[in-house]
Amino acid sequence: MRRVLLCATVCGAMLWVAACSRESAGSSNASPQAPSGFANVDGARLLAANDPANAGQWMTHGRDYAEQRFSPLTRINTENVRDLGLAWFADFDTRRGQESTPIVVDGTIYVTTAWSKIYAFDAKTGRQLWKFDPKVPGEWAVNACCDVVNRGVAAWNGKVYLGTIDGRLIAVDAATGKPVWDIYTIDRDKPYAITGAPRVVKGLVIIGNGGAEFATRGYVSAYDAETGKLVWRWYTVPGNPSEPFENPQMEMAAKTWGGQWWKQGGGGNAWDGITYDPKTDLLFVGTGNGGPWPAEVRDPGGKGDHLFLSSIVALKPETGEYVWHYQEVQRDSWDYTAVQQITVADLTIDGKERHVIMQAPKNGYFYVLDAATGELISAKPFVPLNWSTGIDMKTGRPIMNPAARYDVTGKGFIAVPHYGGAHSWHPMSYSPQTGLVYIPTMEVSYPFVLAHEDDNPMGQKLSISFAGSAAMLRDPKALRVNKAYLLAWDPVNQKEVWRVQLDGGRSGGTLATAGGLVFSGNSQKNEFVAYRADNGERLWSHSAQTGVLAGPVTYEIDGEQYVAVVAGWRQTGNYWAPNYSRLLVYKLGGTATLPDPVPVPEPVLNPPPAFGTPEVIAHGEEVYGRFCSTCHGNDGLSRGMFPDLRYAAAINTAEAFKAIVLDGALTQNGMVSFASALKPEDVEAIRAYLVGRAIEAKNAPARAAGAPAPASPPRTHSD
């Protein structure tokens, strides 16, 4: 078995910012003068998260430090869950995607929405206490790979902490919603974004960022929770080797890269999974994919592994000192990030108690690692996959399928999983009662086709050909897989126990409880569901009128248990209809009801006559793929959160289309001007392509009827 370790004997030299004078950062686990009533959270209380006094709270992103998303509450259980009803709900003021996990402390619930807003509610009655809007500029949306989403706040010592889509970290007074401090964690001249939830460990707020697809260099940072002062920063990939390395690991990592990768950023952004383990006193950070995607573009002719892409890295939380790493995918070329949730648990393996971390990342393997050393204990596919044939347990490396290296062969490859992964940001949970992990799972194919150059001056720089991918999909014999399910996985025996199939939709994040239940939403039937944790039997459901993909939580007030989840997603369908973004809160005997859905007419295809030569239309398809498809779909079809441009009235005239694409008429909504990237003839070519797609759909009633459905899988990771 492979153990990837470096002796962590160097301390101060390893840090970008020395952490030698940190008395004010709270080096102990207790917070000074923790207030009562609002966000009364410190390390001691989090360590006691399972004690009776704290069992009814949800004080951190995964409920406790282990990020198991398992609650010891039992008042709602398999015998009475059928009596669960809506207690209250609260509507949000944004119709974009919603991914937040609520935080609940002493009767107050804190939740974020798209555009990085925070709401605070009385968790029993639903009365809004305050709202905070960081006023993210609409034009920053172009720097977000996958919508302006946010996954939640952290609570500590009377404050809640928010990472914003435009790269800020903000401390807000938990009682009033007033900002305490507001700092940029990024270089504002570079297209970073923050979508993930902060964690607070030993008085330090830990935050990463996204942007691997935008020519950025990833890193994770720690800030003093009281002052906002930067204490340490650890980069996930090396920078320009002609400049001093920030620490020995960057010097080591640079030897695994070639070419001039630093000019393209490198990627590796830590945009989601961050877990602290008190038992080992280690901070586990998941790192992201390479940027651009094909390794051959980052490093032509290279053979190195490209550290620390697609890795789990263990750091000392107080200093950022490196301890160990495990790389899941060497020379990543498929957007196979390792940023997915990292869960700590004690498992009995081969008759021996092991303290482990578990991860179900994008690449489709379920990993169990020794938490203290990073030793690979086991790794098995939890979905069918074709990019690899297994894991070499002597080296810990995947055994590559040579055909999967589309960046080397120059031939397209239809990979499973696709770039959205077998599991993405949607939280999984682990039940110590059943010994099972509950994973929102996808089994989707996608054709990767190399494009050597990508001179995109704004937006994503992927260096893959969307037109080439579309051409592969036109082959009737091409591999096409698009499945999703909620999967119960045995991490000790590495095998499936049960699944709930959700073809045509996606599974939401999961919550496991000591009441023998697993809660999860979906976008198949826009519902929130409770299942038996041992066998997957469906016991209860509620129509949410919208997709429910965020992670649920449960809490207790005055002896009454509640279950809360954020809803608001429209994977496919009519963009012009509301997506009903809300916080939904349930209890036994709840009698609240949602308003009736608003009647919305189905969109009508009414394109102008076709125009443009085949060459112009082909150019429009290529340019559309590079600049527009991230939001509007890979072949002109929307994923629902953005307009399906075949139906857009703007394609009827060159003037209207230009006003939006070049003149920035909708900048406030996040649709910025592309004048720095596109010429007028490019825009008109895109319009010609879209008109052709609209005419094609209109002439195929079976395909165009009802809610439009994407011909290629939706992008469901959010960095």
Active-site residue list: 335
Structure tokens at 398: 């995947």
Q: How far apart are CA 10 and CA 13, in angstroms?
A: 6
Q: Is 438 in contact with 431 (CB distance < 8 Å)?
A: yes
Q: How far apart are CA 114 and CA 589, in angstroms?
A: 31
Structure tokens at 482: 């698009």
Q: Is 65 in contact with 49 (CB distance < 8 Å)?
A: yes
Closest Cα partner for 272 from 117, 63, 426?
Answer: 426
DSSP structure string for 173-204: ETTT--EEEEEE-S-TTS--B--SPPEEETTE
Structure tokens at 355: 């303290």
Alpha-carbon distances of 557 from 53, 55, 63, 273, 528, rounded to whole Å = 11, 11, 16, 29, 22
Give 541's strand partners.
Answer: 529
Omega cis (within 30) before 417: yes
SS3 label, residue 375: coil
Structure tokens at 448: 């990767």
| Residue written as token pair 């005997």 | 589
Closest Cα partner for 423 from 437, 435, 406, 402?
Answer: 437
- DSSP state, 579? -
Q: Is 575 in contact with 641 (CB distance < 8 Å)?
A: yes
| Residue written as token pair 């990979």 | 415
Phi-psi region of 654 (alpha: psi -120 to 50; beta: other; left: phi over 0): alpha
